[in-house]
Every structure is written in C-alpha cells, then in structure tokens.
Structure 1
C-alpha cells in the first residue's frame, strides 16, 4: 500500500515514507476519520501539513488533515489526523430554509447544490465537488433551517439506512459525494468459523423509543399532531418530537407526511442499539473487499452466545503497522455517543 499526499488544491505532492502506524476508519452513514504516525523526516514534515489530503492507493476516499503534532521520545514523530472529505460539507450550513419533498437522492442533491456546488453566493461554492445520488428513491418530506450541511445530509441518510461517501478521482482532483445502499453479502462471520479473533456483542435499550408523538403547527387544542410507530404495554416507549417549524402552507396535502417523516427520523436515531464488534482474522475464509465491504449486509453468528444477526457493516477500522494490516468491524447500530446525544437534545 502506498500513501499519497495531495496539497490543499488537490495536486499531487508526494508519498509518505517511513510511517509507523495508520488508522483508517470507514463509516457507512457518517464521516470517516484517520490517524497517521510517521517518522518526522524533513520530507514528511513538508507533506503532512493542515489542509493537505491523504489517499491510499486504490482506495475511494481521501482524508483531510485537520490536526498535526510533532513529538520526540526515542525518535521524532509527526502525528496527523482528520476526517474524510465528506467533511468539506461541514464547512457550510443550510443558509436559510429548505423545503425538502421528494426522493432522498433529489433532496440531498438540493441541499448540496444550493449551499455548496452551485449556491447563489459564489463565495460559498466548492467547484471540485460533484454529486451522485445513486437514484435512491426513499421518500423525504421535511424542512431544514440553518443546520450544518454535513449533519443535515447524514441525518437524511441515516433515516433511510443509506451510505454517504466522497469518492476521490486523483487524476482530476474531483470529489463526488455519493449516496448508496450496501448490497447483501453471503459472508458469515463467526468465532466457530475461525474468521474472527475477538468479539463483543452489545445490546442496549437506554436510548430506545418506538412511538413518536409529533407536534406540528398551532397552539393548544388547535395544534396538529401525528403519531409514528406503534407498540403497547411495557414494550411501548414514547418520545415527543417538536416540529412546530413545519408549516402546512409549505407542504399542502403532504403536511401529515412531513410530520410523520420527523417521527421516522427521530425513531431511527433512537433505534435499539444492537452491535457486534469484532476483529477479523486476516488468514480466515473471508477476503476484505471481495467477500465483504462497508455497508453490506452480512450474517454474524455466535452459537455459544445464542446470537444470530443479519445486519449491516456500519464501520470498518483498518490499521496498518509493522505487523501488517488488521481489521476491526462494527456490525449494526451501536450506542449513541455523548456528542450524538447532545445533537439530538439540541
């Protein structure tokens, strides 16, 4: 594997030499991240600067360097980290109010076109960003105002169980923000099949909700409400969603659908956390990129624990060091982080 560096204008700058460790974390509906530790040679110090891009040979995604640290103990090291290029979207907000009523592909495209690719204010434009919605037809009916653009796009993707990535073309320096649905794979992961070297199964209902009462426009007895989801007894877990900012005049006959979409999105965020974290045996019977990949639906089995999951690969952490490559995989939806909870409350 070669690790190439491109400058902030996406022009080839060089190749990283003598690196100690690379963590390359790919995520399905979220923005991935990376961390690199390299020998602090003059060449590496010149290459690994804020704003430059890292790209693994043959890969789709590139990382934007957002943090750099030089340290010395036994040897001088430079450590850089950052997020994948989907993070360019985080440099913009939804500048005003967007009424979204259509397919997922069209609605995310509307956000990107109006606030990044072809905005009215040309100072906001990034002319190296293209878009491919993948023809995803999941229905969207909502309103977004003044939200971070990356957060807005990712929340729509999460509600639809869709992936988002920025595919880099090193030949022309173009990033194509791409939406996709992971395909079904025949891969089966199991300790008993000797293709896992460690495994942790987590199930949590601490943030779980399955019925959303959505409050729309109006006050008191005149307020419009909609209910998304159903359950009963002790299994019923309710949450209120304040959607007062949605106006019927903006959605017409689709107003109820817009309220229900708010409920669907909230329950997607508060779904039952059930994940299986595992390290994959590099000498096992499954080959990364051939038998399984990020976003694909696979089967995970632990006969001893009585666990059988057909679930999506939501995160793959690739690690490279002197011992070679290792893979840590997250299957399914994990528990909400503190940052995610704060965003939900906000």
Structure 2
C-alpha cells in the first residue's frame, strides 16, 4: 500500500499573534516625551513647569500609542492607549500630592524642636525667634473635640433612623437636606453661627462657636458614611433576631451597630479629619489669641489653621523668616494630626472588625 505524503499546511496568521514592542518601550517613550517637553519649554519660553509636566505626559501617551500602532497593529494600539492613559492619570494625580507633602515637610521640619511644641506665641513679636504651636494645638483639639461630641451622636442616630426606620416623605426630606448640607461652603456655616451667636450681641469670638460651625460641616459626612456602613449589615441578621422575638431597638444595639462598628469608627475619624483644617469659620467665630486659652467658652482661642494664617501675615520686614518658618511648622503639625487620625481610623477599624469563628 502506497502512502502519499501530503504537504504540511502553513498555519493561518492570527491577528492575536504578531510583533510586540520591547519591554523598554514605555521608558523610552517617557524619556522622549520629557525631552520633547523640555525642548518645547525652551523654544516657546514657558515660564512654569506645570505646562511642561502635562505636555510630557501627553507626548508620552501619543508616542507610545503611535509606536504601538506602527509595530503591533490597531488592536493592540487601542489597548495600550487605554492602559497608558489610566497609568498616566494615576501619576498625574499622585505626583502633585507627593510634591505638596514633600514641600510641607521640607519647609516645616526645620521648625520642629522641643520649644516649638511646649511654648505658645504669647509675647513673641514678628521679628523674634521662638514661639510654638502649644496654644494652637490645644485650641484645635478642643474645638474639633467639641464638634465631634455634638455631631457624631446626632449623625449616627440620623443614619440609624434612615436605615432602620426611615420610610415616607419625612425620610426623603432628611436625605435631601443631608445631601444639600454636604455641599455647603464652610464660610456659609460660619456666617450662620455668627448671625445667631455673635451678631448684635456683646459676645466676643470664642472657641465653642467655631465648634458649632465645625459640627455643622461634620454632620452630613457622618450621616452619609454611617448610613452606608449600616446598609452593609446583612438583612438576614436582622431577620434572625426578629425571629427570636428580639425587639427592633435591641437588634440595632446588639446586632446592627456591633457588626458595622469598624466602618462607623472609620467614618467618624475621617469626618473629624475633614474639618480639622477648616479656617474660614474660625476667622469669623474664634479669632486668634497668642496666649494659651484652655477654655473654649470664653474669649478668643488659637487654632492651628489660624496660626498658619496669622504667621503668614507676619512675613514682611525683619521677622519674615521667623513667621514663615512658624507657619510651615504649624502646617506640618496639622498634616501630621490628620495623618494620625487616618491611621487611627484604619487601626481601630481592624481591631473592631467582627472576628469569624
């Protein structure tokens, strides 16, 4: 029997397999984009670096996509364009944040010493070194602490009402006003409190007035975030509790809130961090005092944002360097305070998370 050998068929070319760019293509395209942006900056006389930065990012995307289209084809070029655009957007968002934080650390760290944290600005003039954030730090902690004491219980109870009881027109009205309050500018909250507490009276600005304005700003954040956390509690847990004859309020206290506790703690601390750096309400309601005032219910009181504002106003003349250094130091303390609150939120959320058996 004779066997006839058939010629081997060549594989059909697939659009999914083809030439690929080298792994160094993104780096080469990025370097080319930077060089072209620098050349454009020198040629066109751009004064700032922001335009050159975004030009380099745009040129990087265009060069890499064009190279991919020429070598890999239309299909892979589209995919590479989308992925490159996503990564470039991430870098464009992160780089300014890193630069801001780095610059604050660079300018504020030289002011850090023991005297800076243990002394106030009482008796320190604009052209004198020394002074510190002690009074401002106490004022910020007291004002934000009072705001938290007021807004956190109200916000949590409102969220519980909306999730567990809220039905009908009244619940929709509460939700609507919470959404509206979320976008209220801080200066408007300060004007509202100023009108009711200080305008037309003999009262001077005091710390607790600023706390009320901060509480107004915190309230919608607490309500919204707590509401979302409570909605994450499975409905089956509530139904199982009701099936055992447990009342609704005991179900909320014993089942719903403990289950969502980690998220509630996180939302509370993030809301506190949100208002810790507010300045506009404090200008109207708290004023500024160089001395230490431990009572938020009498006279002007210092605060970290107000100290930054005050010291920046004293940068002129011989004391410019001292005021500038103290302002950046206070700004760094404020950033560290917000950072500590965020880290505490993550730690407490992890500790309060229900443990599975």
TM-score (norm 1): 0.28
Q: TM-score if structure 2 supplies the norm length?
A: 0.28
More helix by share: 2
Larger radius of gyration: 2
Q: Which of the pair is proportionally richer in strand?
A: 1
Q: Which structure exhibits the higher relative contact order, with contacts defined as CA atoms closer than 8 Å and separated by 6 or more residues?
A: 2
